[in-house]
A and B are shown apart, each in its own frame.
Chain A
Amino acid sequence: MWSKPWKLPEGFLIGGGLIVAGLILEKTNGPVAWNAFAWPVNGIVVAILLFSLVLMHAMRKKVYVFRFLSTYHAAIPALVLTVALTLLMGLTRQRVDGRGLHNMLTFWPFVLVYVYVALILGLVTLRRIGQFKWSQWRRDIPFFLNHFGLFLALVTATLGNADMQRVKMIAEQGQLEWRALNDQMEVVEMPIAVILKDFIMETYDDGSPRRYASELEIVTRTGKDFMATIDVNHPLKVDGWKIYQFGYDTAMGAESRTSILEFVRDPWLPAVYAGIYMMLAGALLMFFGHKKRKEDEV
């Protein structure tokens, strides 16, 4: 044990150490407070993370553990622990007001394991960029897309979450509405106002909804004024917000004169989508590409 080169047991010990550290943090600090990561904190954290990764990569010849983190012997235990903790999440009922296993997203061991995966992804990406060869593009480009894409999506989705705004607007037919409710049921004033012209509802023969949609006049603080129809699955994009058809007065059913709209703003979405599209491209190349084994020094 701990004689170099480190293998899977050392990888599992490092991962296990993280879980113990997570349990201690959970005990002493309480659950992870994601709201604390709102802009600009998340921006600073991303900058520090990228800087640390480059630094760790640069020092990999001197510091063995940095070198070890970009090997399969580190990655496999990290993935096994990710499966294990996500499995716990899948088997335990999650509650918004839950603690520990009942709210895994704020449970330190769970968060630290995903941070560890992101760290490894960052380091293997840097290492692969350093070793990139055009003659090996069929291996190196999919590798980069898969690993960096997941890194980007994971990091920006997690840290950007605190900047995401989701509010509900209850629009009554014929009335101008610019107020919305956030998750804490507080009234927020929106930069976009709507007038519900008509709530459209079509039903199947058995009475279940076939389609529901809102015909709206949209008036924005930026001076826009236009008509739009918002259907389920067809949100409207305006001034950095996406407006969704969320619900209606179910007691009234097809006669509802009330439409519930959801406004969503997620400034980090382009970065997350860039990661997702990279992973899609990576998966496509993985399918059509060919695989060579045992060519990597570990």
Chain B
Amino acid sequence: MIWDYFIYFAAFAVLLWIIGAWGAWRGRTALAVGTTIAGLLVFLAFIISMWVVLERPPLRTMGETRLWYSFFLPFVGLLIYGRWGYKWILSFSTMLATVFICVNLFKPEIHSKTLMPALQSPWFAPHVIVYMFAYALMGAATLMAVYYLLRGQWSVLKKVETSSRPVGMLATEDELDSLDQLVRSGLAFITFGMLFGALWAKEAWGHYWSWDPKETWAAITWFAYLVYVHYRQLPSQRTRLSLWMLIVAFVLLQMCWWGINYLPSAQGVSVHTYG
């Protein structure tokens, strides 16, 4: 059974990614990039072996899908690190990848779980993976927003002042610009996830958009982030309001992700509930 070897590949890959994340914090870019790529190659080796052994792409079960999350999270983390040099992004992506690896290790019975025919599509993995990555980015953006709001409150209470940030200022222009970059990449991935879903729905259900509750909430989330992105283009704006927009948008995103399972208006009518 190929899954029996998973723990060795996974442990080695996670170790390499942790070294990479540490390297990024210490400003050792070459080390960070090198070990993260090495970890990705180790992990990819397992995925390819699995592909060969199963004689089909490993995309069918939830466990196999998590395998791809675990691979893509550090991969896109690396892209963002290369693009903007955020020190924290590799730690964040490593942590998330490890969570998904642990779920696969501790809930192995899910590997054999059946997958209904409608989910057996090449769109399944990209649709879910890019959404999960977008959620991760938006989660990071929300954490930053909360942090800036609390830090601003703190600086008022304690009269803390720095040269770049006078008392009462929530975040500097540079900080807000970085936050924008994060949200814009998240928005790009949300757009991919939503439109991949539309293209898939056409193949599976005959129509690209049916205002299924999941689709309705995906539209709400997408437009909510568009409000933020457009508001940040105004020549003068209130920082507190823009940070709150990110928090509200993330709450709406939670509704879209899992909240609708508990929503009376969505019961029994969504094609997105697979039990």
The answer to whether A293 touches B195 (Cβ under 8 A) is no
B117 / chain A contacts, CB cutoff of 8 Å: 209-212, 231-233
The answer to whether B227 touches A83 (Cβ under 8 A) is yes
Determine chain B's interface SS by DSSP, over half rule.
Answer: helix
Answer whether residue B234 sits at the interface, using C-beta atoms and an 8 A cutoff: yes
* Cβ-closest chain B residue relative to A272: B208
B211 / chain A contacts, CB cutoff of 8 Å: 89, 94, 104-105
Answer whether residue A133 sits at the interface, using C-beta atoms and an 8 A cutoff: no
The answer to whether B231 touches A233 (Cβ under 8 A) is no
How many residues of chain A have a CB within 8 Å of chain B? 54
Stretch at the interface among A16-24, A220-228, A282-290: A282-290
Answer whether residue A127 sits at the interface, using C-beta atoms and an 8 A cutoff: no
CB distance from B271 to the nearest CB of A (A): 12
Stretch at the interface among B16-24, B62-70, B145-153, B176-184: B176-184
A287 / chain B contacts, CB cutoff of 8 Å: 184-185, 188-189
A267 to B264, CA, bound (A): 36
A177 / chain B contacts, CB cutoff of 8 Å: none
Answer whether residue B191 sits at the interface, using C-beta atoms and an 8 A cutoff: yes
The answer to whether A291 touches B184 (Cβ under 8 A) is yes
A89 to B187, CA, bound (A): 22
The answer to whether B223 touches A204 (Cβ under 8 A) is no
* Cβ-closest chain B residue relative to A204: B114
The answer to whether B203 touches A91 (Cβ under 8 A) is no
Give the bracket for the number of chain B residues in contact with chain A. 35 or more
CB distance from B117 to the nearest CB of A (A): 4
A166 / chain B contacts, CB cutoff of 8 Å: 206-207
The answer to whether B191 touches A72 (Cβ under 8 A) is no
Apart from A90-B220, A287-B184, A291-B180, list 10 A-B contacts with CB within 8 A.
Answer: A75-B230, A76-B227, A79-B226, A90-B265, A91-B263, A91-B265, A104-B211, A232-B204, A272-B208, A293-B233
Answer whether residue B136 sits at the interface, using C-beta atoms and an 8 A cutoff: no
Answer whether residue B95 sits at the interface, using C-beta atoms and an 8 A cutoff: no
Given A79-B223, A233-B204 in contact, is the A280-B230 Cβ separation under 8 Å? no
Answer whether residue A80 sits at the interface, using C-beta atoms and an 8 A cutoff: yes
Answer whether residue B44 sits at the interface, using C-beta atoms and an 8 A cutoff: no
Answer whether residue A250 sits at the interface, using C-beta atoms and an 8 A cutoff: no
Answer whether residue A82 sits at the interface, using C-beta atoms and an 8 A cutoff: yes
CB distance from A282 to the nearest CB of B (A): 8
Given A272-B208, A276-B199, A293-B233 in contact, is the A286-B120 Cβ separation under 8 Å? no
